[in-house]
Chain A
Amino acid sequence: MESQSDGTAGERHIFDKLRELTPTKLAVTDSSGGCGSMYVVEIEAECFRGLTRVKQTKLVNALLKEELKEMHGMRVICSVPSQI
């Protein structure tokens, strides 16, 4: 999966950290107009299968412990890849 070439440094930083979950789809958006205080993370990964939303979000939170301290809020939307 390639890095996000466009976007703020904050977005790219979070994007790179979340690759550890080997997502099939990943998009990180700074929803605070570039201020780094609010992010929306859309992530699709196999590791989320069968987990409650809380557990899925915790997997993401665990990789962003330091970043979470800096920001005001983060919206995490987790999904699993559709099985063919």
Chain B
Amino acid sequence: MSAKVVVSMSNIIQLQDESELRKTLEDKVQATGTAVKDQAIGSASSASPVVVIYFWADWAEQCKQVESVIDDLAKKYTKTQFFKVEAENFEDISEAYEISAVPTVILAQKAKIVGRVDGANVADIVKKVAEACAADNGIKTEPASAVKPAELQQDLNTRLKGLIERAPVMVFIKGTAAQPRCGFSKKIVGMLNEQNIKYGYFDILTDEQVRQGLKEYSDWPTYPQLYISGELVGGVDIVAEMIESGDLIGMVPAGAIAK
């Protein structure tokens, strides 16, 4: 392992001038957007590095969440250049990349767009940045396997069971209990807190395998999901009904009610 290097945040900058971006991409971004549009969306060649361009606006709520994800990714992929572009201040660039809404993340290699995520799809952003930037940063990517060997599936089931049983009352939400990232998740956490229930939580935005796997495992299509003593109780609507009917408290083990 090489000597410890202080990581400066120089690989992520707030775009001040169009020329900075152009210089990095070593190619002109045409105002009309035709040059970029005509480039085929293709796979990364080994020659030039991938650049991550994050388009945002201060009036778009979802950008806060995506921005923290971008900051985290910049810390991980230190050899990759990240640009934060305030879309309204850079209309030419936004037009060239066909930015119709924010937040949008573009993965560019010279004048080619090698990937894009429109909207606050955190899981997709993490996945695409990983796929595009791993090579430049010397990180081995694991190929996504279409068919899950029986062994892997068994490991996943064991893992999911372990997660479900991690606490007597366990909730799977988007975001954290302190900072839920979706209205329904926020509601269910609020209800549990109001009822003075002690619970564990898992942020399904941090793990795509759990996010998809748990839906299949429990045959329940949505999040949040509440489990008590290892059993699926339901989502936010069912929990609300059960609180109203008084049924929920009856299911909670004594040790999980905060005095």
Q: Which A residues lie at the B interface, using CB under 8 A?
A: 53-54, 57-58, 61, 68, 73, 75-77
| Chain B residues touching A, majority SS | mixed
Indicate if B99 sits at the interface (CB-CB under 8 A).
no
CB contacts under 8 Å to A, within B222-248, are: 222, 232-234, 237-238, 241-242
Contact B237 A76 (CB under 8 A): yes
Contact B234 A54 (CB under 8 A): yes
14 contacts between A and B (CB under 8 A): A53-B234, A53-B238, A53-B242, A54-B233, A54-B238, A57-B234, A58-B219, A58-B220, A61-B219, A61-B221, A73-B184, A76-B237, A77-B237, A77-B241
Taking a contact as CB atoms closer than 8 A, the residue among A53, A58, A68 that contacts B241 in the complex is: A53
Q: Chain B: how many interface residues by the 8 Å CB criterion?
A: 12
Chain A contacts of B184 at CB under 8 A?
A: 73
Taking a contact as CB atoms closer than 8 A, the residue among A58, A61, A68, A75 that contacts B237 in the complex is: A75
Separation of A53 and B237 alpha carbons in the complex (Å): 10
Which residue of chain A lies nearest to B225 when distances are taken between CB atoms in the complex? A54
Separation of A76 and B184 alpha carbons in the complex (Å): 15
Chain B contacts of A73 at CB under 8 A?
A: 184, 222
Separation of A61 and B235 alpha carbons in the complex (Å): 13
Taking a contact as CB atoms closer than 8 A, the residue among A57, A61, A68 that contacts B238 in the complex is: A57
Query: Given A53-B238, A53-B242, A54-B238, A68 and B221 touching (CB < 8 A)?
Result: yes
Which residue of chain B lies nearest to A62 when distances are taken between CB atoms in the complex? B219
9 nearest A-B residue pairs (beta carbon): A53-B238, A75-B237, A54-B234, A68-B221, A54-B232, A53-B234, A58-B219, A61-B221, A73-B222
Question: In the complex, what's the smallest C-beta–C-beta distance from B184 to chain A, in angstroms?
Answer: 8
A54-B234, A61-B221, A77-B241 known; 14 new pairs, CB 8 Å cut-off, are: A53-B238, A53-B241, A53-B242, A54-B220, A54-B232, A54-B233, A54-B238, A57-B238, A58-B220, A61-B219, A61-B220, A73-B222, A75-B237, A77-B237
Question: In the complex, what's the smallest C-beta–C-beta distance from A58 to chain B, in angstroms?
Answer: 6
Which of A53, A57, A61, A75 has the most chain B CB within a 10 Å cutoff? Answer: A53
Question: In the complex, what's the smallest C-beta–C-beta distance from B215 to chain A, in angstroms?
Answer: 11
Question: In the complex, what's the smallest C-beta–C-beta distance from B132 to chain A, in angstroms?
Answer: 28
Separation of A55 and B130 alpha carbons in the complex (Å): 39
Which residue of chain B lies nearest to A76 when distances are taken between CB atoms in the complex? B237
Separation of A68 and B242 alpha carbons in the complex (Å): 23
Chain B contacts of A75 at CB under 8 A?
A: 237
Separation of A75 and B239 alpha carbons in the complex (Å): 12
Question: In the complex, what's the smallest C-beta–C-beta distance from B204 to chain A, in angstroms?
Answer: 16
Question: In the complex, what's the smallest C-beta–C-beta distance from B256 to chain A, in angstroms?
Answer: 19
Question: In the complex, what's the smallest C-beta–C-beta distance from B234 to chain A, in angstroms?
Answer: 5
Separation of A51 and B36 alpha carbons in the complex (Å): 57
Which of A54, A68, A76, A77 has the most chain B CB within a 10 Å cutoff? Answer: A54
